[in-house]
Structure formats: C-alpha cells, structure tokens
Amino acid sequence: MISSTEKYEYSYSNSQPGHHHSYLIKPLMEMISESLDIFEHQTKLRILDIGCGNGSLSSLIAHQGYEVVGIEESESGVELANQNFPNCRFIQGTIYNLPYAELGDKFDIVIAAEVIEHLFYPKELVRNVKQCLKQNGRLILTTPYHGYLKNLMLAVSGKMDNHLTTLWDGGHIKFFSVATMNELLKSENYTDIKFKFAGRFPYFWKSMLCSSTLI
C-alpha cells in the first residue's frame, strides 16, 4: 500500500540540471565568491544546499572547489544524487525538520535555490537555517522574481493564468518581490541583505537571488 507521503512526493526521473540552472549558476557563484572575504581563514567553504532535488546544482557548486552537502525530501531525488554525484554528500530530510545533529552550526553558507516559493510556511526555512549556519554565515535564496512591471506585462499579455497556474502539482504557491523578501528576512533578524537578478532583462527578470547574514 502506498503511503500518502509517497503518493504526493515529487519524483525525479533523471539527474539532468534544472532549466533554471542555465541562468542562475553565474550570479549564484558570484554571490558565493563575494562571501569569501568573510571567511578568509578558511581554504574550503562548507555549503548546505537545502531542497537540492536530484543533486545536479550541488555538484556544479562542488566542482568550483567547495564542500557541499545536499538535503532533499524526495527519496528519488536523494537516490539519484547519491548515484550520480559522488563529489557531494546527500541526506534525506525535510526543511521543516532538519537533522540538526548532522547539520547544526556546521556551514558557512546555506543555499535554497528555487525552493521557498513551493513552501506553505516560508518563514520556517529562514528560521530553521539559523541552526545550520556558523557565526557570520550567509543564507542565499533564489526564487522567481515578481515586480510591478513584470506583473503588469503578464496581465496585459494575458499570460497571468499560465504564470500563476494552479494546474501544476507541487508548483509555486508563494510569490516574492524584493520588498517582501526583505521583510521576510528582516523579521528573522537577517541583515546585510543583497540582491542579484537573473534571466531575461531588467525588471522582467526570471529570478532574483538574495544573500543575507544573521545579526
């Protein structure tokens, strides 16, 4: 008998990079590199990739010389990651109940790429990450960008229904702008909040990247 957890789990069929990797990887690696000044004493930063999916992004980051641990709720995702990307370590777990015994206070940077928009309780992500970061550690989030001009263009062009579709099981349920991402992070005492943008052209970007640290 299939459990409800298995029935509604997102299943991965291959280890190919996600479509968003093509435009996210360059600014993401720039954000990671910009954090190096904070950790001058270290030769190899430890990075936690939360919601790592099939592990392909974790592996891309590890190839740049970082030690990467990925955590993913999907059993098929973790299985594919462990089979295909031996340069990283992968753990099965949920954002809402991270295995702190293994992850607590051990990472210089935590990344959650295109994850937070899928969560019913996005504040739990930025709150729980605190227990995984070392002192002065950085949190890097990426999520689809939303702003006035982009939303207006979607509405005028008749593409809003497709963009906000309810017909994609496991799809996006939270939509962030720069203002709302700022507000979320500040509510959990993050500071030094910095943004980059990726994909398409200014103010119609596909995604935004946000880097921050704890007070």
Per the prediction, the chain carries an average pLDDT of 91
CB 125 within 8 A of CB 200: no
Q: Is the pLDDT of residue 38 over 90?
A: no
Instruction: Return the pLDDT at 168.
Output: 82
Pairing of strands 190-198, 207-214: antiparallel
How many whole angstroms separate alpha carbon 102 and alpha carbon 105? 9
The residue behind tokens 């103010």 is 203
Q: Which has the minimum average pLDDT: 30-39, 109-118, 171-180, 191-200?
A: 30-39
Instruction: Return the pLDDT at 215.
Output: 74
Instruction: Return the pLDDT at 4.
Output: 46
Phi (first) and psi of residue 94, to 5 degrees: -110, 145
CATH number, span 94-214: 3.40.50.150
Q: Is the pLDDT of residue 2 over 50?
A: no
Phi (first) and psi of residue 36, to 5 degrees: -60, -30
Q: Is the pLDDT of residue 42 over 80?
A: no
Per cent of the chain over pLDDT 90 is 74
> pLDDT by residue (tens digit) across 140-196?
999 999 999 999 999 999 998 888 888 888 889 999 999 999 999 999 999 999 999
> pLDDT by residue (tens digit) across 157-170?
999 888 888 888 88
Instruction: Return the pLDDT at 47.
Output: 97
What does the DSSP 8-state code read for residue 146? -
Q: Is the pLDDT of residue 1 over 60?
A: no
How many whole angstroms separate alpha carbon 109 and alpha carbon 125? 14
If one counts every other C-beta atom within 10 angstroms of the C-beta of residue 80, the result is: 23
- Banded pLDDT at 24 (limits 50, 70, 90): very high
For residues 55-82, give the mean pLDDT: 96
Q: Is the pLDDT of residue 3 over 60?
A: no
- Banded pLDDT at 14 (limits 50, 70, 90): confident
How many whole angstroms separate alpha carbon 173 and alpha carbon 79? 26
Domain locations in the chain as residue ranges = 94-214
Q: Is the pLDDT of residue 43 over 90?
A: no
CB 188 within 8 A of CB 126: yes
pTM, two decimal places: 0.93
For residues 73-80, give the mean pLDDT: 95
Instruction: Return the pLDDT at 5.
Output: 56
What does the DSSP 8-state code read for residue 132? T
